[in-house]
Every structure is written in structure tokens, then in C-alpha cells.
Chain A
Amino acid sequence: MRNATLLLASVLLSTSAFAQGGSIAVRAGKIMKADGSVIDGGTMVIENGRISSLGGADLEVPFDVILHEYPDAVIFPGFYEAHSSLGMDRSNENVAVAPFLDVKDSIDPVSFYFEDELRGGTVAIGIMPGNTTVIGGHGRVVAPTGMTIEQMTLDSGMGMKLAIGPKRGWSRSTQLAELRETFSNLDRDLRKLGEKLQEEGKQEEDLASVGDDEEDEDTEDGDAWDSAGGFIRFGDDFPGKTLISEEDLNDGQRGLVDILNGDERLWIWAPTASDVVTTQTWLASHDLLENAVLVVSSSAWKASAQLAEMGRPVVLSGDLWHVERDPVTYKEVRTFAPAKFAEAGVAFALSSVEGRMGPDRLSYQAAMCIREGVSREIALASITTNPAKFWGLEDDLGDFKAGADGTFVVFNGDPLAASTYVLEVWIRGTKRYDRSEDVRLKRLEEGRIK
């Protein structure tokens, strides 16, 4: 019986492409949802990669679905990294304004980063270009498992990276001047383009009125949409504006137009409090407030009021504490930024900090928040439902609910406890990580495998 189960499992695993998703049922000692509420002896049924039902020990499991039991374990939705620039070969290009870039071209699926994240229980990562840029390019949400980018991708429309906090070596006035200049140049180019199209349009009319009556056949291709006019939907009118189609623009221009049209979610790097204030002004001037997610550092706690006013979500990157010296007494003053955000009612997501033992795990960051007085619900939300919400994927990711992805992590205890570790990770109903088969861990714990 057991061999048959294994056979069936391996068949399922090998044949199912990532996107299809598997079907299983799980019963665990505890099933903890993203808000921290616990179902003792909970059961969850996943069909075709989506959660179909969730309940207690008495939940009925369909007959054709294998039941996996973890009587001592805790099942949790997993950790979600809202914004990261790791896992790529380089995080930024030298070119400051590069809206044509996409992280799909630089993500390295074999990178150790993804393996380690999976081992730690992270199930989805929002990969974005780095902060040393003005307009950085597109990002996407990936799961840290898979051999190709396509296999990894959960959502390719995460958004566009913008930076208001200055590039290394630049001042903020230079940064903003560059941004302003970019959009001014775009404006100028569009006007020229509009003029040109108008000219061409007139020429065609002239030709048509003179030449043959053969009508061009409209080709039935999906690109008809691309060549339709009216692509520019922002700004003042100018002659020829309605004639411009997506095809007429080059890659760089297209990216900028998408931003200004409001079609792109903007992930804006605004580390300090004064950057937040500048960002607020800039977004308001382009009427892009609804699209923005701010990526800040701990020093932005001083602008909590402005963030609350903007009502936009915030990703806290880097250290959670802000340390500064009082200029008069020279005493160090430490402020815990997430507590300030929580107080002000700002929705925030936490980030792990690369290279530091402890903060490199999202569970540690959340646990630190709880220690400093942030409520457990908010702390857990900042590593689960909030990132999913910021990506626009709250229906699929972040929590256990009907219709969401069948993605969960099996822990041997409370997910936030320091002594807890990950036993298994399942993404969309297929097991992607099993600690008992983790070769690297085995090597660490048992020595060289003979």
C-alpha cells in the first residue's frame, strides 16, 4: 500500500508541470492561518493546485486525493518576501533610466538564494531591480523553486521600479532633475511623433484621394490592438496625440508611457523621511498616488504621518531599528520603525536583511516586531497577506482560503519561534522541499555523505 502511494506520488510529481498544480489533502496537529488563528487537528484539501476546502479534523477528504498527515506539525501559509533584489546576476544597470528592463532576463533560477529561501519557508518573492537607479525596470513575483523562469513565475505584472532616493554618487536634486528631464524628453518626443503621424496621415489621405481605390485588408491578427491609436492617455492634448499607437513607440518610451498612463504599479525607493515627502509631492503632481508602493528604510518612521496620509502601502527594507545620535547629548537614540508605522496605521511589509544571522529570516523580523509591541496579527500580516496584497494577488496568495493557491509550509512548531524549522514546503499542491532529503543540511549535520 505504501509503495503504491509512493508510486502514485512520484508519478504525480514528475508529470505535473508547475502551473498545473497537484491534488492532496493534509491533516496536521495545527493549521495556522495568516492572522495567527489556529485550527487544531485541521484538515485542508487542495485540488489542482487550489485550496478547495479547509476545516477541522472531521473534514471530509475526497477519495482520490492522498492524505498526508503531520500530527505534530504546524501548517502555515509560508513567508512572503514583498520586495527583493537578490537572485539576479546584477541588481541594476548603469543606465539610470531603463524602463525597458525586466528582471526575467536576469533572474538566475539556480542561485543559492532561492534554495536557501525555500529552506527557510519563503514561498513567494517579489523580485525587483535594485535601488541604484532612477527608473529601474519591471519586476515579477516568483516562487523560489523551478528550473526555468517560467516555472518560477507566479505573476509577471508586479510593477515598475522607480527611485526617488538618490543613486550612489548623486544628490536628490540630481535624481529628480534626471526624472524630470526624462519625462520632459518623452513629452517632446511624443509631440514630435504626433506631428509626424499627422503628417503621414495627411499624406495617406492625399494619396488615397488620388491613387487606387484598393482598400487595404485589415489583417486579423492580435496585433491590431497594438497598432490602434490612442495609446497615450495622460497629459495635455497635442496635435496627433490620438494617433499614437503602441507600435510607434520604442521600448524605452513605451515603459515611460505605461507609467504615466497609470497602468504600472510603481515600487518607489524612498528610504528617508524627506524622500517620502518628496515622493508624495511627485506622485501627486503626476496623479499617480493610487499606483504606488513605497520601499523605505527605518529612518522613514519620521514621516509616518505623511505615509498614513498617503494611505499607500510600505515595504520596510533593511534594519528594523533606526539609530541616530542626539546632536546635543551624543546619546544614541533607537527607534523601532515598524512600531511607529503600526501606530500610525500604515500597512507595511517586512524584508529580510541579507548577510545577517537572524534578520535574514522573515520569521525573525516578525518575531522582533512582536517583541517590540506590535500586535501578532499585524506582524504576521506583514510577512504574509500584506505582501500578497501589495502585489495585487491577495486572492491567490498569502492566506488559506477557498480558491487560493495550495501553498503551505509544514513547521515543527510555531512558525515564529526561534527553534522552529521547516519540514516541508508545498507550492500549488506539489511538494517542493523536504527536509529529510535536503542534501546540504544532511551534510552539515551528519558530515560528508560517503
Chain B
Amino acid sequence: MKPNTILLSAVSGVCLLAAALIGDDRQEPASANALLLNGEGPATAYHAAVIHTAGSAGAIQDGYLVVQDGKVAGVATQASDLPPMMNTVELGTAEIIPGLVAADTTVTGSSGQGDRSMAAHNLAADSFDPFMDTTKVLERGITTYYLSPDRSRLIGGRGAVVKAAGANSMLEARGDLRVNLTTAAWNPPDYFRPPIPPTAENPILPAIDQAPNSRPGAMLALRQAFAATSSGAELDPNMAGLQDFLASDAALRLIVDTADEAQTAVDLAKEWGRHPVLAGLSQANAAQLVSVLQKHNATLLFEVPLFISMPDLDANWQFPDANLLGDISASTPVALQAGRYGRWTWLLEAAAASTGYGLSDANALRGITTVPADILGVGQRVGRLEKGFDADFVILDGGPLDAAASVQKVYVDGKKVWSRKGIKSLKSDAVVVRAGTLWTGDGAPIEGGVEVLLENGRIVAAGRTVPHPAGARIMDAGADAHITPGFIDARGFVGTNGARSVDSRIDLGHLADGSYFSDMWRPVAQSGITSMVMGPRSLSTKGTRASVVKTAAGFESGSLEDRFVMFFDARSSDHAASRKALAGQLKKGKAYFEKWEKFRTERAAWEVENTEKVATARADKEKELRLRLAQGSAPKVEEVVEVEAEEEIVEEEEAKPVDPVNGLWVGTLEHEMLGDQTIEINARLHHEGKQLTGIFSTPEAPGEDFEMEGTFEDNTVHFEIPTEVGNVTIDGIIDAPDSMSVKIELAGFGSADLVMARTEVEEEGAAPIAKKKAKTDDGPQAPSKDWNLEGHRAMFEGRARAVVAASRRDEIESVLALFAEYELPVQLMYADEALEMAETLRAQNVGIVVSPNVTSRRENVDYVPAAELHAAGIPIAFQSDRTQGARFLPQLLTMATRYGLGAEQALAGLTSSTADMLGISDRVGRVKAGLDGDIVIFQGHPFDLRSRVTHVFVNGLEVHQK
């Protein structure tokens, strides 16, 4: 190359480099589409998923609508086109449409017409009520609407155009001329205006019979009127009004029903030299109408048949042809109205319905925005979202033609004038989730578009389409999304740091409730696991009671009340001993259960007896009283023996010191674990010397109280309760009379402080309070609760399922035999040699909670034992067996599907199968109406490596990403 060229390229290269290096702080240089703002006031950009401009730009995906000074400043397709420092409102998945324009309304009323058949001087603007409440109009997304003059007169008058909100709402006071060529205008009343006083020169004439009574009569009257205006003669006010119209550029609106009326209308318009707007036409014969319109330059204001109540129509009434609008819209602009049997505010519905008559989606939207605006003569101001137009727009939560979409907000002249959020009656927690595929938890998934409705914490409906309650939020996850039931972890222990000792008295589930805010739980919930059985880390033959806990829920709904899982361990080197121990537990449990059953039946019988007894006693007393009255003697009022309370002379010369601790103490526990909620704790304390007994209860769980032994020394109260989590210590210092500062320490959970106040002082000489239950009546009393055996009782009552860990074949056999003897359902855990006993297991309907190591190796080959079990017909459930590991469970299963575990089996093992095995299938485990609202949404197939969990719902509420 020549040296000059080299030099040139070098220089240019250096320049470019310099520019790139120096560069200013701004973003990339403004593109050609950058918006320039000319206005004065502040500008706002609205970022929505779709902006339907209804103009030449069409629908813009992921666009920004820029509003300034009450006008649209422009629409940007990307953030970089926006001017810097733009105030942006993020609307998420919402869509923006222009404010709708209603080309015909009944706001002015459909009655109350004058008696003139042709009243061109009648102005609908005179009927405008500036104080009208437009809430119902704005609710439907309508920002501009027409005021109609007399509707059923040959010439009704001049219409008007107003905005539904804002300062200067009258857009046009002298609008189009409304001419009704249908039979509704026939037979108008006689016109009678007597001269007063009548004289010989000016006598009372008979009433004038007004036209029209027929179509030729109508045309004759109109032609005469037209001729009168151009004759130059003195005009009466009516004709003057017609002249006024002809001199203006307002539209000529002709109301017509059939195609031949339409033909008459276009002929009339031609004579008058005006562009006709044909309104109505729902009864037109399609072919005829198309030919009429194609020949003439007209606009159609089509009446879409929509019905609010059962109409009274005969067989002559037909629905319009299916492709009527499709054929017409090719040559004629079509505007839409909701018709005389519906409500004029149903514009969105009219647009949706019009697509059923052949109108394209884009034309349907134009039919309620730009075309009516043009008809009304305000097409230069409203109807489009383009630069310079009024900033009247509506935010929808779906597409404009989506039947489920509802209006969320309405803006007029750039100001928000209506919002759905403020309206209590429209609030609802319902969510409709839309996706492509639904895995119900049983069998093959439903494909091709599905919806699930969650409301009030439950799944209300699931299937191809579901009802959409008013105010429901619609979440469209896309056609690639899969919905599955929330996953159930058959044994995990998030937040408990593992269990060391076994004590089934304290219910772990209660301790772990309400921790949705905790960072430990959110990742679990976000992975798709919505329910977790809070099992102990180490198992024992005695049995541990575990609750089923939701991974993200408030305190009240955080667990499945009254449902448990009892974990037993039957593995040991000394099989006989462990068998004996297990048998002993079951025997004790059964005895305890039977004790309670006996109490229940006895009590029930006693209650019946007692009620009868009380009733007969009362009846007897009444009879006696009646007898006495009948005998005439005054009824002997049962003498109420008034025991005169002898005033006890309080011999307290020496002020006996009141015992500082005996009595009833009340305090309120607040802890971040509980969120907004608090627990009231009642403690009845009694000490004898240093020995302290306390009965703890809470009014929210009546009947359940804990008895504890502790110490009292030097104004200090101390309780220590061993639990599976560790020791719970309660330390209280009585620092003031009747007031105690208490510190509760839950090992691993932190501590809580509260102040308790003594509300009742125990009387002197009162017997120790522990273990004394006041007898409320003389019927059978409930046996005292043994917390060690409550879980067993639940098993026998059917509220808890037993899961027994057993590995070897003999262990499995003895467990099965044992539980069969007691007629209790049982599930196994681990059960490595179960495959050999598949038939026995099947016969006894026993399932297996498999090891979390879903994939194993055998003879150097990876395989999934669970798949083999499933193939053998044995139900399987998966557990995480980890503190934090729960959130990896779905991942493990995904890998497992590559090694032989079917996707449906993997899913069942996480959902329906587990729920069935643990006896909680009436609450969780499937996407079925009536079950808890726990669902997971995947982008892609649930067990595909490429998929991600995008949304999780627990109890109908979305688990939020951080």
C-alpha cells in the first residue's frame, strides 16, 4: 500500500480508538428512532408488554409510551430511544390500548323525545350533564363518548362528543346529524301548536300529521327539507338547523337496519353531498350489504349483537353472517357498537365478538378506537397513541380481545382518572395461571393450553379453561410453561439443625411454622417443594411425631393441622430386640388409644343421658310449677338461702408476704419468626420450696397445655425442656412484684424475650395445682394426655401414617406382620431389599420412602432403584433427608430421569404418590379442585435439564423471588 493510505488508515484508526476511549458518560449515541421531547412539563414513560397504538405503528411489543403535557409524545421500541432521566412506570405484563371511543350511547336516555319528526335544531349537547358519574364508563375503558339526540325521529338532531373525565370535557357541541331511516321513526306523533289567541286570520288548525309513515314518505320529507334549505326562503328554526348542518363538515349518521335501507341511505347521502355513516345493520343480508358498501364510499357503525337479558325476538331475527365484517372491512372502515340489547359500555366485548364475524384483530381494535373517533369528527385528537394525540389510554391485564382481560387503570389527558385497585368490591385474591401443559399428578399431562384458578388458598378449578372471577389476576406463563402440583418432601428438617434426642412431646411442626420469611425456607420453596414433612434426623423405635409443614405460608396456615407422620426405626443389629421394642410401642399406643376411645363413647352416652336427665328435670319442675299455679297458691319461690358472707376479719396484723411466684402469669410472645402475629402465653406456677411446677397453655390452643418441672430460687424461675432440637430453656427473673422478665431460648432458633405479669395470685393454702383438672361436670372426664403416645393415638385414629425404616428382608417382614396385626397402614423407608418382596408389599399396599440418593450404582452401571420399584408396582416417595438439601431434590430427580426414572414416576413420587402414602391426599399432591393451592410453574418440561422453576404458589399465594 502506498504510504499515504497507510497513514490515512492509521490516523483514522487512532481517531476511532480515541473516540472510543474518550467517549462520554452517556449511553450509546442516540439512534435514529430516539424520541425528542418538545413539551414543557415533566414526561413519563409507561413500559408495557404490548402497546397497541391502533395507528400506523400497529402493536409494539415491549414498548414505552411517552406522555407529556397531557399528550402522547411518542412511542419508543427500546429503552435506549428514550430521553435520559426519563421517569418510567413499569407495568410488567400489562398491555396498553388507546382510550376507547363509544360511537353511540344511551347516556341522554332513549325516551324523552320531542314531538317533531324532523328536529335538526335539536342539540344533544343541551342534555349533557357535567355532574354525571362516569365511573361505570371509565371502568370499561371508555374515555370518549357520543351524546345522542332523539333516537327514533326521522331527524333526531345534532349529536355531541364528550370525554369521560378531565376539565374541558365537551369536545364537540354540534356534531353529526342523526337521521333514522328505520321503521322506528315511522308514525311520529301529530304536531300541534295552536296560535294563541286564535283569530279569524290565524285560526286553530288541526294537528299536523307528520311524516314518515313509510319509506317513500321518509325520503320525500327529507328531500323537501333539503330543497327548503337551498330555496333561499325564510327558514323556520328547524330548517335553519338543517342548513347549519349542511354548511358544516359534520358527518351524516344514518340509522339503518337492512341492506335496502342502507341503499336508500347512501342515495340520500349522495344527494346531500355528504359522506354517509351507516349505523346499525345487524339485520342486513350480507351479500347485499357488501355490494352496497363497496360501490359507495361509506363508513359502517356496526351493531354487534350482545345480550344483557333474554330479548323478545321472533324467528325473523337472525345473527349476522359469519364473514360479514370480513368482506366489508376490505373496502369500508368499520366501527363497532354494542347494540340495543346490550349495554353501550360493552365496547371491548363488541370488539371481541366482532372477530367472530370476520373482522381481523387489528380492525377489531380500530373499530373501537380510531374509526369511531373519525366518525365523531375527533379523529385528530383521540383514538390513537401517536405523537400529538391526547394522552387517553387504558392499561389492561391482558390483550384487548382477551375475554379474561380487565381494565386496570384509565388515563385521560395524561392523568390517571380511574384505577381498579381502589375498588374494594372488585378486589380478589384469585389468580388464573395459564400455561401450555398441566401435570395433575396422575398420569399423562394435559397439553395444548391449560388454566388453573387459585382462590382463597385453594385450587378451585383446573383444566383447559377455568372460570375467571371478577378482579382475578391473570398470569400467563406462556405456551412452553408446565404446571405441576407442589412437591412434597417426605422427610426433611430445614431449620431444625437436625435432631439429636428423641422426644415427641414438643411438636416440631409448631416450632417451625411461620418461617416463610426466613432465608432458610425461601430457597426450598422456590425450588418447587411446597410441603415438607418435618421429620427427625435420627429415628427411633419409640416413634417420632412429625407435622407436614408448608414451606411458605403464614403462621395460621403453615402446616396441615391434625395430620402427622410417625417415624419409626426398625433397623438394628439385634433384630429381635428392635422388633420387641416396636411391638411394645404399638401395644402401648393401642392401649392409650383405647383408653381415649372408651372415654369418648362413655362421654357420648353420658351426654345423651345427661341431656335427657336435664330435660326431664326441667319438665318436672315446670309441671310442678303449673300445678301450683293451677291450685291457686302463690308459687313457692325457691328460697335462695343467702349465706351472708361473714366478713372475715382479716387477721393480718403481721403482713404476711404474698408469695412472689404462685399464681397465673400472662405474657405475650412476639418474635420475628411469627411475623405480625403474637402468642399469648398463660403459665400457672406453683412452687414448694425450690421445686417449681408450671402448666403452660395458650388461649389459641385450648385444651393443650404443657406441664413442666423447674426450679425457683432467688426470684429466678428456671425451666429446662429437652427436645429433639436441643434444650429449650425458660429463664424468668421476678424483678418487680407481679412482673417477670422471661427469656426463652430455643436451641438453634435463637431466643425470645417477653414480660409476663401475674394476673391471679394463688390463694394461701391452695393445694398444689399441678395435675389437678377441675371437674366441670359429673360425667366421665378425659384421661390426661401423654405426649409420648399422642402420635400413636393419631395413628390408630387414622390421622397419622407410620413410616418405618427397615432395610433387611427380615426387618421388613416383621414390620409388615406387626402392622398387619394391628391393622394399621404402614410405609417403609429405605427398604433396600424390598424388591425381592414386591408382591407382599403390593398386597399390603405398602409404599417406600426411598433414600435421597436416587441414583445408585450397581455393577458399574448407574440406575435408579425407585424406577425398579415403581416398575414392580410399589408406590414410591422421595425425601431429602437433609437440612438444606430439600431444594436440591428436584435436581436429583431430573438427573434420575436420564437413568431410567420416568418423568411421570418422578412427578408422582414427589406429589400424588407421596400424598397417598402419607394420607394427606385430600389436601396436597395433585392439581385438582378443592386441594390446597400449591402449584409450581416450570418453563419447559419439569424434569428437563434446560427447564427452570419460574413461579411457585403455596396456599394460593405466590412465593416471591427476593
Contacts and interface: CB of A to CB of B under 8 A. Distances in A.
Interface of A: 95, 98, 100, 166, 169-178, 180-181, 184-185, 188, 250-252, 272-274, 277-278, 302-303, 327-330
A411 to B, nearest CB: 40
B133 interface: yes
Given A177-B126, A177-B157, A274-B128, A171 B237 contact: no
Interface string B163-202: 0000000000000000000000000000001111101000
B111 interface: yes
B127 interface: yes
B150 interface: yes
Nearest to A94: B192
B119 A174 contact: yes
Contact of A166 (B112, B119, B194, B423): B112
B425 A95 contact: no
Among the interface residues B121, B236, B423, B424, which one has the most CB atoms of the partner chain A within 10 A?
Answer: B121
A268 B126 CA distance: 16
A286 B675 CA distance: 70
A273 B236 contact: no
A274 B237 CA distance: 24
Contacts of B116: 177
16 contacts: A95-B196, A98-B196, A172-B126, A176-B123, A181-B121, A181-B236, A188-B236, A251-B196, A252-B196, A273-B129, A273-B130, A274-B129, A327-B135, A327-B136, A328-B423, A329-B425
Interface in B85-136: 108-109, 111-114, 116, 119, 121-133, 135-136
A171 B150 contact: yes
A171 B108 contact: yes
Contacts of B136: 327
Contact of A277 (B114, B130, B135): B130
Interface in B373-423: 423
B111 A177 contact: no
B236 A185 contact: yes
B111 A169 contact: yes
Contacts of B124: 173
B131 A171 contact: no
Contacts of A170: 112-114
Nearest to A168: B112
Contact of B194 (A95, A184, A327): A95
A177 B127 contact: no
B212 interface: no
A180 B237 contact: yes
Contacts of A277: 130
A303 B133 contact: no
Given A100-B196, A327-B136, A174 B112 contact: yes
Contacts of B199: 250
Given A177-B123, A188-B234, 11 more contacts: A169-B112, A170-B112, A171-B114, A171-B150, A173-B108, A173-B150, A178-B114, A185-B236, A188-B236, A252-B197, A273-B130
A98 B197 CA distance: 10
Contacts of B123: 173, 176-177
A278 B126 contact: yes
B111 A174 contact: no
A173 B116 CA distance: 12
Contacts of B668: none
Interface of B: 108-109, 111-114, 116, 119, 121-133, 135-136, 149-150, 157, 193-197, 199, 234, 236-238, 240, 423-425
Nearest to A184: B237
Contacts of B234: 188
A216 to B, nearest CB: 25
A340 to B, nearest CB: 13
A250 B127 CA distance: 32
A277 B149 CA distance: 19
A398 B240 CA distance: 48
A328 B149 CA distance: 28
A68 B122 CA distance: 63
B229 to A, nearest CB: 15
A170 B116 CA distance: 11
Among the interface residues B109, B130, B196, which one has the most CB atoms of the partner chain A within 10 A?
Answer: B196
B196 A185 contact: no
A181 B196 contact: no
Given A170-B112, A171-B108, A250-B197, A328 B425 contact: yes
Given A166-B112, A185-B236, A188-B234, A177 B121 contact: yes
Contacts of B132: 274
Among the interface residues A95, A100, A172, A185, which one has the most CB atoms of the partner chain B within 10 A?
Answer: A172
A63 to B, nearest CB: 57
A332 B856 CA distance: 71
B113 A171 contact: yes
Contacts of B126: 172-173, 175-177, 278
A272 B132 CA distance: 11
Nearest to A177: B122
Contacts of A329: 424-425
B425 A272 contact: no
B855 to A, nearest CB: 59
B121 A180 contact: yes
B197 A251 contact: yes
Contacts of B125: 173
Contact of A174 (B113, B128, B129, B238): B113
Contacts of A328: 135, 423, 425
Nearest to B424: A329
Nearest to A169: B112
A286 to B, nearest CB: 15
A262 B73 CA distance: 51
Nearest to A276: B131
Contacts of B130: 273-274, 277
A247 B130 CA distance: 44
A181 B236 CA distance: 8
A341 to B, nearest CB: 16
Given A250-B196, A272-B129, A329-B425, A174 B236 contact: no
B624 to A, nearest CB: 53
A400 B487 CA distance: 90
A174 B123 CA distance: 8
Nearest to B112: A171
A209 to B, nearest CB: 30
